Amino acid sequence: MFPLEVESVLFTAEEIDRTVGRLAGEIVARTAGAPILLLGILKGALMFTADLARALPADATVEIDFLVVSSYGSGSRSSGEVRLLKDAGERIEGKHVIIVEDIIDNGLTLAYLQGLLRSRKPASLQSCVLFDKPYNRAADVPIEYKGLLCPDAFVVGYGLDYKERFRNLPYLARLREEALCADIA
Ligand code: PRP
């Protein structure tokens, strides 16, 4: 049963689950057993951070923390201005930090975060992004772990919202144009 506003499912829960498992495997291979700090970027990366953490081996040394940023406000277009709404609680100096993002679009959010976090002198800083929308990139940012190539459409689900709705969908979906009309006009 889909919400009426959903036009189609782009990635099912099973496809997302497999991708999260693949990314966890890549993280293990690349970090070679070093302790890591997953830094989830809320609100969008809520589900992804939780699932990624559980996909890592149980004996891995993993810390989890969150930052809250926003650039989209309540609409469907990025404002281009990234705001730090809530900082992380843990110090990151000397740690192997992995930024966990649900989606990258123009890249300004990740560019801002990488700049901010690098200035705090982590032992290493990597980025893990589940959905990649490479069509409107305004900032060239390194991404060590990439999940799925996302179509150039407004997408919701698995943490991503439209006006704070649809984050709870277990899949990634495209919204009907009509649902976005008020914003596009
Ligand atoms: C979304 C998403 C990323 C960012 C990516 O966050 O979670 O953080 O936009 O966009 P960009 O690459 O164009 O900068 P949003 O500002 O919508 O906040 P939210 O995570 O609370 O939904």
CATH number, domain with residue 102: 3.40.50.2020
CB neighbourhood size of 169 (10 A): 20
- Is 122's pLDDT higher than 50? yes
- Is 89's pLDDT higher than 90? no
pLDDT of residue 78: 64
How far apart are alpha carbons 16 and 48 in whole angstroms? 9
CB neighbourhood size of 41 (10 A): 25
Query: Number of helices (H) and strands (E), helices first, in the chain?
Result: 4, 9
152 is an active site residue = no
Ligand 1 atom with least separation from CA of 78: 13
Average pLDDT over residues 115-137: 97
Q: Is the CB of 124 under 6 A from ligand 1?
A: no
Q: How far is Cα of residue 160 from the mean position of the Cα atoms in its chain? A: 9
Instruction: Using a pLDDT cut of 70, give the percent of the chain over it.
Output: 93
- C-beta separation of 147 from 23 below 8 A: yes
Q: Is residue 166 part of a domain?
A: no
Relative orientation angle of helices 46-55 and 13-31, to the nearest 10 degrees: 60
Q: Is residue 44 part of a domain?
A: yes
Q: Is residue 47 part of a domain?
A: yes
> For residue 83, how far is its CA from the centre of ligand 1 (angstroms)?
10
Mean pLDDT of the chain: 92
- Is 183's pLDDT higher than 60? no
Tell me the pTM: 0.94
Work out the widest C-alpha separation in the chain, in whole angstroms: 52
Backbone φ, ψ for residue 142 (5° rounding):
-70, 135
Choosing from 105, 140, 152, 183, the catalytic residue is 105
Structural domains counted in the chain: 1
Q: Is residue 40 part of a domain?
A: yes
Ligand 1 atom with least separation from CA of 112: 14
Lowest pLDDT segment from 19-23, 89-93, 181-185:
181-185
Tell me the residue range of the domain where 31 lies. Answer: 13-152
Three-state DSSP at 31 gives: helix
Average pLDDT over residues 146-155: 96
pLDDT band at residue 185 using 50, 70 and 90 as cut-offs: very low
Q: Is the CB of 43 under 6 A from ligand 1?
A: yes
Give the tokens for residue 109. Answer: 């959010």
